[in-house]
Amino acid sequence: MSHKNETTLMIVSLLITGGILGGGYWWFTHQSGGNLAQLLSGQSIPNPNQPITSNSPLPSPPSPTSSETFNPPKLVRQGTTVKINGSTSMVLLNQALKSGFEGQFSGTKVITDAQGSDKGIELLLGNNIDLAAISRPLTALEQSQGLVAIPISQDAIALVVGIKNPFRKGLTETQAMDIFQGKIRDWSVLGRSPGSIRVINRPSISGTHKIFRESVLNGGDFGNTPNITIMERDATTPILQALGKDGISYATYSQVANQQTVRTLPINGLTPESTSYPYQRSLYYVYKQPPSEAVKAFVGYATSPVGQQLIRNAQ
């Protein structure tokens, strides 16, 4: 075979070989899903029949906000009605806001009642009122039912005795706990003349009752001793009337601060007006999602500078 023919044959062989190699490369890269680089680098190829995982955790979902902020209303439609029920501790506060709201926005009406925090929540869940006024935080169950609480004000729980009670001293936190748990039952233990201590307690449906357990009893239970009486209704006036010379009870400070028939007891030497007073709490308005226009207007008014001043004046 001549040198020319050998050269031609070699060129043809090289072309055929190149074509075979090129075709194989094309087939391999397409069938392997374009993961040749992964194979060459020693990385594994995910199985298409299994989920792809990552060493990095997925981002957590955003946390929902616990409440909204409503702007102070500039105009409120005539005929707007707001129904409020709940804590007896918020009676004066509700009345002050009612007068201011109705006075500023003609043709509006605010209807208030006070059957206790738990009753307010019950009525709100039943769509019978617009706002529940409560003197305790919402429970996890209540929040899961679409309820949202907005803090309206701070208040204090005061321990009170009748104005004619000979006991003129204050109490320590430990003494207060022992009295309401039935461990201290006689005034002589506290330095007064002997005599049984009559403890007058609120019913368990009361928001003030629940907060008292948390704040004063550190989450413990009230005593179950003969000297402790539980009132049928969560109402402050009957409690104060029942104190006499030997009774002790508790109430929202704003309800007893100006009473002439009772006296508040200092705790650890601090009166309820002190910023360091141990038995303080928040008061809330609660609405059910989604808030109505009436709710937005009234809560916006309550949290505005005008509303907050009315609350301070009422307290």
Closest CA to 67 of 280, 283, 284: 284
Interhelix angle 293-302/305-314, rounded to 10 degrees, is 60
What local confidence, expressed as pLDDT, does residue 147 receive?
98
Torsion of CA 11, 12, 15, 16, to 10 degrees: -150
Domains of the chain: 81-154+283-314 (3.40.190.10), 155-280 (3.40.190.10)
What local confidence, expressed as pLDDT, does residue 68 receive?
72
What local confidence, expressed as pLDDT, does residue 282 receive?
92
What local confidence, expressed as pLDDT, does residue 139 receive?
95
SS3 per residue for 29-66: HHHCCCCHHHHHHCCCCCCCCCCCCCCCCCCCCCCCCC
Q: How many C-beta atoms lie closer than 10 Å to residue 16's C-beta?
A: 10
Share of the chain above pLDDT 70, in %: 79
- pLDDT averaged over 10-residue windows placed end to end, the chain, 315 residues: 48 51 47 41 38 31 50 96 95 96 98 95 98 95 97 94 96 98 98 97 92 94 96 93 97 91 97 94 96 97 96 88
CA atoms within 13 A on the CB side of 148: 18
